[in-house]
Structure 1
């Protein structure tokens, strides 16, 4: 997806947030370099490409390859500790596969950009009301049908914390298709709170599929 104008405020907010988290020196120089880069971006590039380049520039300034490491570990451990409770809820559902998908969808709102205003209480509220969650676009039945017939699946991870819910869904997929080979895609290097290979190891997703 090409970069959209509405993505720029989120990107700038992330830069400001990370600069504040790390107590970076010479913040003004950092911001000037970021704005200089953004003023020359190619709007045919994708959002991940722009974010990746911006974050590399940011990391060069703050001398920290993974400024979100502690945050990622915290949320991975938090949601990992909820795994047994969430699995119990899913397995008690009459439509457990659909329930696992809904929990993974809820996990997708885990985002640390302040402009999105997502709070942990919001996520927990969604968890508590998952049975009443109605998907605006619902291809669940088609997805389950295709998964149960497939031999190979590429599951692309998104954020830390959320990766624990991905693991639960992957286990449910394997439960319904024992012959499927699943490859879990992660970022090759730390970018904001996106899942990377160390997150996959930390939450044990490597025990269910291959992470790349």
Structure 2
């Protein structure tokens, strides 16, 4: 997905979220935002919004002198989600279709986004997932791939949300598949890293790999050979979050084996997916290249 004019304010919104997470003094915020704003005219609009956001964010991190401004917030979101986990797991196990319920829960967890949505209501997101479901749902196609799969790659998104993904991993393991769960190689916003995976116990349920970079989304040119090989070897890929949709949707490597689970938190992303703003989406990749 290429950038549009409306992406620029969102870049800065995410930078400001980092300021707030770090408790940066207002005067220092003003200084850094002026410096980071100078980069906007030079961003490559053919790149995904996720990649361009990352470039500005990482420069802001450098100027702040803080490598992980969301560290404490990520730990809190993981702890909060783990407290919910037993109740959510019971809901999945008692559902008429536990796999579909787990997919809905994984989608509900995507509300935990500290870059775009500074305030979010997890309980409301769960309620939405159960009552309204997906605006776009390719569950039948997903089941077809799952029934034939031996290797599954899950591309993780945010801390906190990773706990909701455990519900999905539990259900997928019933299909006797090998599951790899990928995380970022370094901190960016509240995206999951190896530290988060270990904290919530995902490493006990799936093989964890880092993707080789700390960009938002999945910037293929910056990914490690290990990650790219895991993507190619997978019979089924589950991509979590809007940033991964922005950067992978329509790509050749995604093929028809990639399924996106996310909440459309941007009007332009919603339009791209053919849904309304803030709708939940569970869709198969559609080739555009």
- TM-score under structure 2 normalisation? 0.67
In structure 2, the residue matched to 1:83 is: 85
Mapped partners of 1:129, 1:37: distance in 2 = 38
The answer to which of 20-29 and 162-171 deviates more is 20-29
Q: Which moved more, 1:81-90 or 1:126-135?
A: 126-135
Higher relative contact order (CA 8 A, sep 6+): 1
Gaps of 5+ in 2: 210-289
SS in structure 1 of the partner of residue 114 of structure 2: coil
2: distance between equivalents of 1:71 and 1:98? 29
Q: Give the equivalent residue in structure 1 for 2:6.
A: 6
Q: Structure 2 residue aligned with 1:40, among 39, 42, 50?
A: 42
Q: Could you state the TM-score of these two structures normalised by the residue count of structure 1?
A: 0.89
TM superposition shift of 1:130: 4.2
Cα drift, residue 140 of structure 1 = 1.4
**Residues 21, 135 of structure 1: CA spacing in aligned structure 2 closer, same or farther, 3 A cutoff?**
closer
- Give 2:74's match in structure 1, choosing from 62, 72, 75: 72
Q: What is aligned with 1:167?
A: 166
Q: Trace 1:150-161 onto structure 2 (pairs within 5 A).
A: 150-161=149-160
Q: Which runs of 5+ in 1 are unaligned?
A: none
2:236 aligned residue: none
Please name the residue that 2:198 is paired with.
201
Structure 1 runs, 4 residues or longer, greater than 6 Å off: none
Q: How far apart are residue 132 of structure 1 and its match?
A: 2.5
How far apart, in 2, do the equivalents of 1:102 and 1:89 lie?
A: 11
Greater Cα offset, 132-141 or 34-43: 132-141
Please identify which structure carries the higher strand content.
2
Counting helix residues as a fraction of each chain, which structure ranks higher?
1
Counting matched residue pairs gives 207
* Matches of 1:160 and 1:63, distance apart in 2: 22
Equivalent pair of 1:109/1:118 in contact (CA under 8 Å): no
